[in-house]
Structure 1
Amino acid sequence: MTTIKSNSLDYRPLAWIAAIALFMQSLDATILNTALPAIAVDMHESALEMQMAVISYALTVAALIPLSGWVADRFGTLHSFRVSVFVFVLGSVACAMSTTLNQLIAARVLQGIGGALMMPVARLAIIRYVPKNKIIAAWNLMAMAGLIGPVVGPILGGWFVTHMTWHWIFLMNLPIGLMGIWIAGKYMPNNYGNAGRLDWFGFLLFAFGLMGITFGLDVIADDLNQKVKALALIGGGIGLLILYVYHAKRASNPLIPLSLWKVRTFTLGMIGNLLVRISGSGVPFLLPLMLQIAFHYDAQTAGLMIAPIAVSSILIKTFATKLLFKYGYKTSLILTALGMTVSIAAMALITKDTPLWVYVPLIMFYGACMSLMFTAVNTLTIGDLNAQQASAGSTLLSMMQQVGIGFGIAISSVILALWRGALGENAEGLEQAFSYTFLVSSSFAILLALLMSLLHKDDGDNLRKK
């Protein structure tokens, strides 16, 4: 067991280690979207049915995040981090070598196994070893990497596809990952915690429940005629989650404590987080497809046209705290949800002839609304948790974020498939299908606004104290 005094530890090396991990994750989450049409051509698949290449990663991360703390305590922070990065890099190489969609999905699952442990373990090392007065600085340094990834991801993805091959979007993780493994070996302590008995039965119920629901949605998106199979998968997934609830009520150390849901702001925040993802997470997936498949832009141009979303997300972060302090959580969340509704619904009006001076401000407004919403709803979710609940609450929030990404893309794919079936696959029908999908997606943001209206006027005031 490695023992290091917090006061003797420079926060910057650990922050850079976490930044490398977060950069790889955030880059990987966005770089693939612009490359999907090119990958689909090589694999002889429809670009409109490649969603599982994205969903499989997010779902794997969501299912395995609860294991991260236990793994770090059992095997040590350094060992756990280096192995997780190695598995992530190995999965990246496997993605680049894939020749079929099923191989790519399997490789993305392997990537997800590494990704599920990589960031939580790096965060845990910062929390344990960085002095309290340096944590905010370390967190900001790490967070900037997460914000830069979505900016360069679509641009790099489009550039690789246009000038090289799509395989490089995965192979570029190799040098970054190896650098992370090397730096971690020099600066990350290898501390073992008190790893109690893991709730394996609860973990399996929860993980397979999530998989059942997501795969069921994917079956409908791929083939509208397989409704029976899809409903069976979704029903089975819901059944397993219900069984988990009964199990958690009786388990002495459940994977996810049900007591968390008794905190009103936590419950509203978690449901809100899911609605944010369902309404908004499909947009970065749908827009590159629409630009390339319906409007016939090349991958590089499509990537450049997605980048303003991430730019506005970064810019609004500067004002997020001030806005929340001035207007309060309830007002800010309701207005931001309405802003999301308007911006996503307005995307239904985008055509190939839409001028850039209209298009760019629209998607930047969407990016700003999403960024502000994430800041507000995430901090609100954990704001009223006590010290004993904070760790489990943070883990569950991370899970919900990843589950929401998977559900958001899956639901967007189902809606798009339904409209494609109704309007046809010709150029005009396909363009209308994308437009109507954006309209339907915006309705979830209306539900989000209604949910946020249930907040009390003073909710979040404890977070607004300077």
Structure 2
Amino acid sequence: MPSSSRNTALLWIVASGFFMQTLDTTIVNTALPSMASALGENPLDMLPVVVAYSLTMAMLTPASGWLADRFGTRRIYFLAILLFVIGSVLCAASQSLPELVLARVVQGIGGSMLLPIGRLAVLRSVTGEQYIAALAMVSVAGQVGPLIGPVLGGWISQTMAWNWIFLINIPIGLLGMAAVRRFLTDDALEQPPPFDFVGCGLLSLCMAAFSLALDVPGNGHQALLSGGLFGIALLAALCYIPHARRRQNPLFSLALFGQRNFSVGLVGNLLCRIGSGAVPFLLPLLMQLQLGYSPLHSGLMLLPAAIGGILSKRWVVPLVKHFGYNRFLLVNTVLVGTSIASFGLISPGWPLALEIAQIGLFGCCNSMQFAAMNSVTLKGLGARDAGSGNSLFSMVQILAIGLGVIIGGGVVNLLSASAGEAAVAYRWAFIVVGLFTLASGVIFRALEAERQVAAAR
């Protein structure tokens, strides 16, 4: 097959995998109340369904590049789709919440490799002049998933059984696996660099323990358990430091954190994305459980955020060029955090037009925030640190989604039990996660000042 035709097929394969991953991430949120009803659970107790998937992806993402080097992108990408499909089948067949959570872990294992290995396959196959256009095509698939995911999830859960939100992955996955066998080539390295299994284990333990600690109610013996988990997370992080100093090729070099903009951007991203990650989880629950919206109605209400996000992409470069990263991130962070907190005002009788405007404003500002944060965090990395820094950055991005769901859902659970009024609980949940995003604005003030600002990616 001609090289151009093979590259075109490769781009469609990678774009389809990215679409499948982003679709699954967004389609579940609007269906959670229906899933809870079918499984006999409280909708707020469905939080582990989201967290298990995102946490598994965060822990395993760093290993994806090494696996591709060791066994080849063709084999590992095929395995990633296969595991994602198997996880989808197991999700659809689940009869209880624990079964569904375990199935989501299997899905997360496959999902953790889809985008990183897809990007690597494109990098190895597409020439430099065409690389930017190739990644742009793949990114479009990532934008389409969130655009139709909430609506499709709402429609399926309202008109069909909730299981179908996972079963629709099967035909896409089967076509993807057939295409991988047909068009991808074996490109395993003869002597891949050794992988830092110990470092990956320590950081995975840190993330898992920290996430579980936040999810444990802080009372009685459970408070001791939560404190113990926080201690384990801290110990694992501290143990990684001497390990990284001793090892010649650690998972993430400590030199990365000596680059000011990378360190500041990493922390700022984590805090900012906690608020942004909580919104897709909390808003459908608020709409369906408090406002009485149908699943389809709540899915349609999230469309302004996706449309606003796509439209605002073109504004980022000129705004950053004119104002600089520091000023742009300071102002835009305030807009994102305030828009998140404003969702707490939504209640029965709230004007529909105002609700749509709030969601649209959040989508616009949040999209520009992501683009600017990504660029300012990664653009200063040299060729030696680019791969490692990008991997760590991707891991933090995914982790923040899970933390946002844990914190937002935890506030609703805690205040619903103590105050006895769910409306107040949702109001404070949006305020709390909005404050996390606002706090990232303080972090971004520590960015190095620039006279000449590079264009945002």
TM-score range, shorter chain: over 0.9
Question: Displacement, 1:219?
Answer: 2.3
Question: Match for residue 432 of structure 1?
Answer: 424
Match of 1:160 in 2: 156
Look up the equivalent residue of 2:398 and give its one-letter code.
Q
Q: Which amino acid aligns with 1:208?
A: L
Shift in Å, 1:187:
2.1
Q: Which runs of 4+ in 1 moved over 4 A?
A: 7-10
Deviations 1:249-293 (A, max 9, x none): 212221111111111010011001101111221011000011111
Contact 1:260 1:389 in 2 (8 A): yes
- Structure 2 gap ranges (5+): none
- Kindly report the root-mean-square deviation, in angstroms, between the aligned alpha carbons of the 2 structures: 1.9
Choose the corresponding residue for 1:220, options 217, 221, 224.
217
Preserved contact between residue 11 and residue 138 of structure 1 (Cα < 8 Å): no
Cα drift, residue 18 of structure 1: 1.2
1:206 aligned to 203, 208, 215, which one? 203
- Indicate the residue corresponding to 1:387 in structure 2: 383
Task: Measure how far apart 1:349 and its partner are.
Answer: 1.0
Aligned to 1:294: 290
- Corresponding residue number in structure 2 for 1:91: 87
Contact in 2 for aligned 1:224/1:417 (Cα 8 Å)? no
8 Å CA contact retained: 2:273, 2:437 = no
> Is the 8 Å Cα contact of residues 212 and 234 (structure 1) preserved in structure 2?
yes
- Deviations 1:413-440, CA, capped at 9 Å, x for gaps: 222222223311xxxx111110111112
Determine the C-alpha separation between the residues in 2 that align with 1:345 and 1:59: 25
The aligned residue for residue 396 of structure 2 is 400
Amino acid paired to 2:354: V
Of the three residues 411, 415, 430, the one matched with 2:411 is 415
Contact 2:316 2:456 in 1 (8 A): no
| Separation (CA, whole Å) in 1 of partners of 2:23 and 2:378 | 26
Counterpart of 2:217, as a letter, is I
Q: Partner of 2:335 in structure 1? A: 339
- The structural deviation recorded for 1:235 is 2.1
Residue in 2 that maps onto 1:71: 67
Residue matched to 1:463: 454
Shift of 1:92: 0.5
Contact 2:6/2:183 (<8 A) preserved: no
CA contact (8 A) 2:404 2:433 kept: no
Which residue is equivalent to 1:449? 441
Amino acid aligned to 1:442: G
CA apart distance, 1:11: 3.6
TM-score w.r.t. length of structure 2: 0.96
Change (3 A) 1:166 1:225: farther
Structure 1 unmatched ranges of 5 or more: none
CA contact (8 A) 1:65 1:120 kept: yes
Which of 162, 181, 189 is the equivalent residue of 2:177?
Answer: 181
2:64/2:117 contact within 8 Å kept: yes
- Label 1:190 to 1:224 Cα distance change in 2 as closer, same or farther (>3 A): farther
Partner of residue 51, structure 1: 47
**254-263 or 314-323, which moves further after superposition?**
314-323
Q: Percent identity?
A: 37
Aligned partner of 2:192 in structure 1 is 195
Letter paired with 1:463: A
Q: Do the aligned residues in 2 keep the contact of 1:224 with 1:418 (CA within 8 Å)?
A: no
How many residues align structurally? 456
2: CA distance between counterparts of 1:104 and 1:306? Answer: 25
Does residue 275 of structure 2 align to residue 279 of structure 1?
Answer: yes
- Deviation of 1:78 (Å): 0.5
Paired AA for residue 47 in structure 1: P
